[in-house]
């Protein structure tokens, strides 16, 4: 596992807030040269950044159906299962968790038929032992999340 510098953690935080900022703006905010920032970005893209993406406002998004799937998996198939799940286009987020279940998957689609298909697809994966699905009925952000302190 690669260790990131404090500046690299700060850069990740700035990109999370707005990934469309210019290299010059980011370099200025971090008090580093433009070439240094470009090198930092290259490193982060190699070791930390999976992809850049667009998150639509709920009022603009056609996607109306969201669900969370918890699943238990056979430890011998753990890596394979995660690799396959990440390839489904309806998957927005995947993480391993502690507790009664092993994995949390966030799904998003605009049709119940698609949701049913992806749920069935996950259930049928070799090594998936049990699933439990929660449909999102509404979003209520209670407070703005606190900024994360770099390590």
CATH code for position 23:
1.10.10
The domain in which residue 104 lies consists of 63-134
Domain assignment present for residue 144? The answer is no
pTM above 0.85, yes or no: no
In sign, the C-alpha dihedral spanning 99, 102, 108, 114 is negative
pLDDT digits (tens, 9 = 90+) for 40-77: 999 999 999 988 887 767 666 665 789 999 999 999 99
pLDDT digits (tens, 9 = 90+) for 70-111: 999 999 999 999 999 998 888 999 999 999 999 999 999 888
Residues 112 and 80 occupy one common structural domain: yes
CATH code for position 107:
3.30.70.920
Domain count, the chain: 2
d(CA 118, CA 66): 12
Residues 72 and 108 occupy one common structural domain: yes
């Amino acid at each position: 596992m690669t260790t990131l510098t404090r500046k690299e953690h700060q850069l990740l935080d700035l990109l999370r807030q707005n990934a469309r900022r210019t290299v010059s703006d980011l370099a200025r905010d971090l008090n580093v040269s433009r070439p240094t920032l470009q090198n930092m970005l290259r490193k982060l893209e190699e070791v930390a950044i999976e992809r850049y993406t667009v998150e639509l406002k709920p009022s603009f998004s056609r996607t109306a159906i969201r669900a969370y799937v918890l699943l238990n998996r056979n430890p011998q198939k753990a890596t394979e299962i995660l690799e396959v799940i990440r390839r489904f286009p309806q998957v927005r987020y995947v993480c391993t968790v502690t507790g009664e279940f092993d994995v949390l998957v966030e799904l998003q689609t605009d049709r119940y038929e698609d949701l049913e298909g992806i749920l069935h697809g996950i259930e049928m994966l070799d090594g998936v032992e049990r699933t439990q699905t929660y449909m999102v009925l509404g979003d209520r952000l209670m407070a703005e999340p606190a900024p994360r302190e770099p390590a």
